Amino acid sequence: MAENIVQRLRDEIENGIVTNQFAPGDRLDEMQLAKHFGVSRTPIREALMQLGAIGLIEMRPRRGAVVVEPGPHRIYEMFEVMAELEGMAGSLAARRHTDTDRTGLLAAHARCEHSANADDADTYYYDNELFHHAIYTASHSSFLIEQCTALHRRLRPYRRLQLRVRNRMKTSFSEHGGIVEAILSGEAELARTLLRQHIAVQGDRFSDLVATLSQREAHSG
């Protein structure tokens, strides 16, 4: 239960940062956040530590937690690198996957189908995360798994936010179908290409979303 509370708080604060409710340079006061969310400071502190681990905030002397969101260009660069890493993971998974990997990938794909059909973007995000981790695992490259996992974690708030762009969730799931088929049929280069395109689209969609959020902020200002 405590872990679920921390996750919910982390997600709420993440959303606040990526939608500019908390702007770069803003101080995130533990006591104010605890009062706002109606919780103690302990889960707030844990949520802030997790956000610090992915680079959204940093702890500064005498100021505490401060928002240090990277700019859109930096985020786009991270998506570019993520696309290459995921493409490599898909290629290796196509060549190396075991029966256990096949079962795990199909199970993750089925979960994504359920949440996509329910039009539940938040649940789909976490099911989507499991889907991509199933691909990493099937690559059987421990170093690549570490790198993919680390960058996936850093891009987490932006990957979740872009799923709310119109039709992106259904498109994402449709792309998963081709990726699964390529991996399980051993088509390494096709799996690489499809995964690179899958992640690159996320980067493009995020750019569109940034423009939309900027317009919304300008109208509300």
Q: What pLDDT, on the 0 to 100 scale, is given for residue 208?
A: 67
Same domain, 128 and 184: yes
Number of domains in the chain: 2
Amino acid at 216: R
> Is residue 95 located within the same domain as residue 62?
no
Are residue 35 and residue 81 in the same domain, yes or no?
A: no
The domain boundary, picked from 67, 93, 113, lies at 67
Residues 6+ apart with CB under 8 A from 3: none
DSSP state for residue 120 in the 8-state scheme: -
- Rounded to an integer, what distance in angstroms lies between the CA atom of residue 96 and that of residue 77? 29
99 and 181 housed in the same domain: yes
Question: What is the tens place of the pLDDT at every residue in 147-194?
Answer: 999 898 888 887 877 777 778 889 999 999 999 999 999 999 999 999
194 and 126 in one domain? yes
Is there a single domain that holds both residue 149 and residue 53?
Answer: no
Domain of residue 43: give its range: 2-67
> Residue range 21-45: average pLDDT?
91
Between the CA of residue 128 and those of 111, 175, 221, what are the distances in Å? 8, 12, 35
Cα separation, 131 vs 110, in Å, equals 9
Q: What is the CATH number of the domain that holds 20?
A: 1.10.10.10
Asked if residue 95 has pLDDT above 70, the reply is: yes
Question: Are 100 and 208 members of one domain?
Answer: yes
Domain boundary among 67, 91, 107: 67
User: What pTM, to 2 d.p., does this model score?
Assistant: 0.78
62 or 88: whose pLDDT is higher?
Answer: 88
pLDDT of residue 212: 58
More confident call, 215 vs 97: 97
Residues 6 and 77 in one domain: no
What percentage of the chain carries pLDDT values higher than 90?
57
- By the 8 A CB rule, do 18 and 33 touch? no
Q: Are residues 57 and 161 in the same domain?
A: no
Regarding whether 88 and 59 lie in a shared domain, the answer is no
Which CATH number does the domain housing residue 154 bear? Answer: 1.20.120.530
* Residue finishing a domain among 67, 84, 104: 67
In the predicted model, is pLDDT for residue 218 greater than 70?
no
Kindly give, in sequence order, each residue whose CB lies less than 8 Å from that of residue 17, ignoring residues fewer than 6 positions away. Answer: 51, 56, 57, 67, 69, 157
With residue 107 as reference, give the H or E element that holds it. helix 99-117
Please tell me the least confidently modeled range out of 117-126, 131-140, 153-162, 190-199.
153-162
Per-residue confidence band for 91, with pLDDT thresholds at 50, 70 and 90: very high
> How many whole angstroms separate alpha carbon 135 and alpha carbon 199?
14
Same domain, 50 and 85: no
For residue 220, name the pLDDT band (cuts at 50, 70, 90).
Answer: very low
How does the average pLDDT of the chain come out, rounded? 87
138 and 214 share one domain:
yes
Tokens at 218, concatenated: 């300008």
